[in-house]
């Protein structure tokens, strides 16, 4: 290669299963790459199918559609413009692989098959893909490219094999989901591969939400010294073309442009939640959301996220007071809706409570009121929201948080009711932190107000479900800073009860929390999906049996 090599990093937001739409997105990005003079445009992992496609790849008709889409893309490259490096599930000799395909000159010019298939956390690729061999380099216009598909970058053997085969540049297409503190881990693995191979590295990650996963983009380039010389924005689609030149040191980037600065922890979490909810609603074609606005902090934060994701005109807040709802809660709920600018209605549930009391009286009359009556209130609210959803179309947005879900402090078919639980993986202490942050800061791209989104009283008052007189959450739970600290040990850390106690938590409280966590598995199995932000979200990452005779403090 005697001339400069121009490469486009195309950080896009595909839709799983929408092959035609994804092909159109790739072609739109190629048009931009051609305008910028690119020789090659690199896209994220499994771009043609969307990631992760899960059991769709077990359907022959789906793989047929993917192959037809790839053929359409390949044909376009016959015009002599930019070649494409795209990801697709790909059949070879009757087996399906997670592949990166180089499309050039009107054909599939080279195929790289993913070698290391992740089978931990949210990943289940061993179930649907066959592992490929250690890859060889790809010849491209006088260059030798080393392609490593996502997980292959996390292991030293693939980069070593490519370097031994004469690679001059490592290219890593990714579908790497967001979780807290993962950006540094990614960068560390990339820097290790650069150090071991002596080669620069291009990392291209997808962006957007897919069910419970969110992808933050944040693609980057490292030079041969491991310096980050280019960074794409987190949470936004982006396309950047950079130029490389070959000299005695190998391929050298000609322009250093790393304007990406690290976001605050709260901003990353908040934007993950906005992205996850916004794409879930948009990709599933809901007209908007409806949620119960109680005057408490969880529903206020959920409403703010919804408005930032969708716009106030697509968010419907409903206050459903009971005889136990305080005047403060009525005032605060109204104030939140007014600050956010969204629709607000009041539908009291006392008639439903009375109807249930009368209906149950022949078999349950004379009992002292208790948890049954409390749950009826919650279920009356859930039924009301579902009725509004059925009648008018918006998806019911659940507002419960991870602390509550962990210990079962939630009512099945009541406050757990909904199509999506945006705070499902957010501990209560983080709910407080995000609410304070959002009252100070409007997130980039947020559609909500530039200013506070809830009264300060919503943040500082003691949390309460208000299902009986003078109730607070701490009647049933340890203080949230204690509860969340213990839960982080038991869930994310998989620390034993004894190990958690050794970290300074009271043994009686730890055992109480562990018992509640263990007993609530059946509720969590029936919860709606929600955005994953931690390293151990409920669902695919934490799978305990509901019927479980093991009672030891694990």
Give CA–CA dist 215/208, Å, rounded: 5
Reply yes or no on whether the pLDDT at 399 is more than 60: yes
Give CA–CA dist 247/224, Å, rounded: 12
As to burial, measured by CB atoms within 10 angstroms (0-12 exposed, 13-18 middle, 19+ buried), residue 2 is exposed
Catalytic residue list contains 317? no
**pLDDT at residue 34, as a whole number:** 96
Domains of the chain, each with CATH number or no CATH: 5-262 (3.60.110.10), 266-471 (3.40.50.620)
Residue 271 Cα to chain centre, angstroms:
10
Reply yes or no on whether the pLDDT at 540 is more than 90: no
Give CA–CA dist 265/178, Å, rounded: 12
Residue labelled with tokens 């579908």: 175
Give CA–CA dist 303/137, Å, rounded: 50
**pLDDT at residue 260, as a whole number:** 56
DSSP for 240-259? EEEEEEEETTEEEES--B--
Reply yes or no on whether the pLDDT at 131 is more than 90: yes
Mean pLDDT, range 495-499, rounded to an integer: 92
Q: Which of 193, 286, 272 is nearest to 236 (CA)?
A: 272
Identified catalytic residue from 104, 125, 150, 283: 150
DSSP state, 457?
H
pLDDT tens for 432-478 read 999 999 999 999 999 999 999 999 999 998 776 656 676 676 767 88
Identified catalytic residue from 114, 402, 523, 532: 114
pLDDT tens for 260-283 read 556 688 999 999 999 999 999 999
DSSP for 162-187? HHHTT-SEEEEEE--B--TTHHHHHH
Give CA–CA dist 331/454, Å, rounded: 11
Non-local CB neighbours of 221 within 8 Å, separated by 6+ positions: 9, 200, 201, 202, 203, 228, 229, 230, 231, 242, 253
Catalytic residue list contains 151? no
Give CA–CA dist 74/72, Å, rounded: 6
Catalytic residue list contains 114? yes
**Residue 194 pLDDT grade (very low, low, confident, very high; cuts 50, 70, 90):** very high
> Percentage of the chain surpassing pLDDT 70?
95
**pLDDT at residue 211, as a whole number:** 94
Dihedral angle computed from the Cα positions of residues 62, 66, 71 and 73, in that order, rounded to the nearest 10 degrees: 150
Would you say 43 and 87 are in contact if contact means Cβ atoms under 8 Å apart?
yes
Identified catalytic residue from 45, 266, 374, 466: 45
Would you say 291 and 326 are in contact if contact means Cβ atoms under 8 Å apart?
no
Residue 4 is encoded by which pair of tokens?
Answer: 């400069």
**pLDDT at residue 247, as a whole number:** 80
Helix (H, G, I), strand (E, B) or coil at 12: coil
**pLDDT at residue 263, as a whole number:** 67
Query: What is the gyration radius of the CA atoms in the chain, in angstroms?
Result: 26
Cα dihedral 402, 407, 410, 412 sign: positive
Q: Before 39, cis peptide (omega within 30)?
A: no
**Residue 513 pLDDT grade (very low, low, confident, very high; cuts 50, 70, 90):** very high
> Percentage of the chain surpassing pLDDT 90?
80
If residue 547 lies in a helix (H) or strand (E), which one and from where to where?
none
Non-local CB neighbours of 334 within 8 Å, separated by 6+ positions: 319, 344
CA dist 548 → 494, 517, 520, 543, 551 (Å) = 17, 13, 12, 12, 8
Residue 334: count other Cβ atoms within 10 Å of its Cβ: 17
Tell how strand 220-222 and strand 201-205 pair up: antiparallel
Reply yes or no on whether the pLDDT at 164 is more than 80: yes
Cα dihedral 30, 32, 33, 34 sign: positive
pLDDT tens for 350-384 read 999 999 999 998 888 778 888 888 889 999 999 99
* pTM of the predicted protein model: 0.93
Non-local CB neighbours of 471 within 8 Å, separated by 6+ positions: 324, 464, 465
Residue 264 Cα to chain centre, angstroms:
17
């Amino acid at each position: 290669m005697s001339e400069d090599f121009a490469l486009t990093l195309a950080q896009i937001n595909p839709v799983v299963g929408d092959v035609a739409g994804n092909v159109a997105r790739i072609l739109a990005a190629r048009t931009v790459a051609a305008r910028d003079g690119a020789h090659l445009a690199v896209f994220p992992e499994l771009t043609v199918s969307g990631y992760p496609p899960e059991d769709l790849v077990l359907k022959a008709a789906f793989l047929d559609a993917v192959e037809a889409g790839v053929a359409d893309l390949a044909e376009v490259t016959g015009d002599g413009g930019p070649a494409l490096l795209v990801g697709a599930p790909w059949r070879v000799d009757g087996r399906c692989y997670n592949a990166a395909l180089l499309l050039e000159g009107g054909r599939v010019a080279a195929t790289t098959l993913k070698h290391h298939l992740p089978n931990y956390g949210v990943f289940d690729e061993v179930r649907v893909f066959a592992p490929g061999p250690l890859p060889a380099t790809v010849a491209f216009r006088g260059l030798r490219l080393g392609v490593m598909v996502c997980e292959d970058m996390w292991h030293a053997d693939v980069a070593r094999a490519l370097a031994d085969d004469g690679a001059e540049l490592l290219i890593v297409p990714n579908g790497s989901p967001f979780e807290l503190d993962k950006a540094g881990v990614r960068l560390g693995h990339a820097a290790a591969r650069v150090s071991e191979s002596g080669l620069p590295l291009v990392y291209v990650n997808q962006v957007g939400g897919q069910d419970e996963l969110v992808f933050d983009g944040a693609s980057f380039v490292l030079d041969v010294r491991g310096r980050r010389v280019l960074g794409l924005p987190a949470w936004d689609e982006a396309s950047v073309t950079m130029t490389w030149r070959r000299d005695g040191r190998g391929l050298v980037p000609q322009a250093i442009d790393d304007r990406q600065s690290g976001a605050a922890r709260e901003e990353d979490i908040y934007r993950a939640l906005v992205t996850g909810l916004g794409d879930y609603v948009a990709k599933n074609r809901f007209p908007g959301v409806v949620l119960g606005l109680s005057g408490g902090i969880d529903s206020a934060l959920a409403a703010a996220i919804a408005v930032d994701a969708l716009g106030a005109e697509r968010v419907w807040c409903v206050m459903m007071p009971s005889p136990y709802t305080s005047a403060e809660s009525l005032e605060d709920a109204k104030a939140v809706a007014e600050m956010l600018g969204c629709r607000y209605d009041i539908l009291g549930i006392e008639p439903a409570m009375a109807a249930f009391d009368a209906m149950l009286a022949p078999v349950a009359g004379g009992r002292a009121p208790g948890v049954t009556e409390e749950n009826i209130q919650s279920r009356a609210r859930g039924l009301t929201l579902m009725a509004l959803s059925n009648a008018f179309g918006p998806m019911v947005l659940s507002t419960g948080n991870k602390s509550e879900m962990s210990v079962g402090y939630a009512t099945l078919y009541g406050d757990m009711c909904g199509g999506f639980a945006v705070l499902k993986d957010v501990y209560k202490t983080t709910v407080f932190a995000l609410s304070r942050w959002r009252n100070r800061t409007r997130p980039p791209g947020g559609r909500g107000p530039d200013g506070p989104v809830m009264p300060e009283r919503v943040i500082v008052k003691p949390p309460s479900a208000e299902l009986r007189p003078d109730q607070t959450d701490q009647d049933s739970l340890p203080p949230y800073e204690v509860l969340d600290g213990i839960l982080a040990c038991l869930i994310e850390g998989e620390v034993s009860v004894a190990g958690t106690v050794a970290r300074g938590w009271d043994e009686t409280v730890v055992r109480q929390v562990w018992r509640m966590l263990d007993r609530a598995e059946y509720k969590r199995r029936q919860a709606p999906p929600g955005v994953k932000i931690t390293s151990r979200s409920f669902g695919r990452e934490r799978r305990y049996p509901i019927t479980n005779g093991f009672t030891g403090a694990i």
